[in-house]
Amino acid sequence: MVRELKVVTDEFVTVPEAAKQLGKPKMTLYRWIGANKLIAVTFGGILFIPKSEVERLKRERNNQAAGVEPAA
């Protein structure tokens, strides 16, 4: 019996896309994924990052630039 799973990837971006949006090298994102600082999932052998994670990193970057301490 063959089962089919359909996954909507509208809520995910690839590592290169996320790196471009964040202005960081791809390798930095791969290191963050390896260090569990960034959530990623694999679909069909390709790593994807939830858009919510990209937005979280953007907020953290903006907060650091403004001198706001991160929430505990």
pLDDT of 68 strictly over 90: no
Within a domain: residue 5? Answer: no
The answer to whether 7 and 43 are in contact (CB under 8 A) is yes
Q: How many CB atoms within 10 Å of residue 66?
A: 7
Planar angle of CA 34, 40, 41, nearest 5 degrees:
120
Regarding pTM above 0.85, the answer is no
Q: Which domain holds residue 20?
A: 12-66
Within a domain: residue 72? Answer: no
Q: For the chain, what is the domain count?
A: 1
Reported as a single tens digit per residue, the pLDDT across 19-53 is 999 999 999 999 999 999 999 999 889 999 999 99
According to the model, what pLDDT value does residue 27 have? 97
The alpha carbon torsion through 26, 59, 56, 8 (nearest 10 deg) reads: -80
According to the model, what pLDDT value does residue 48 have? 94
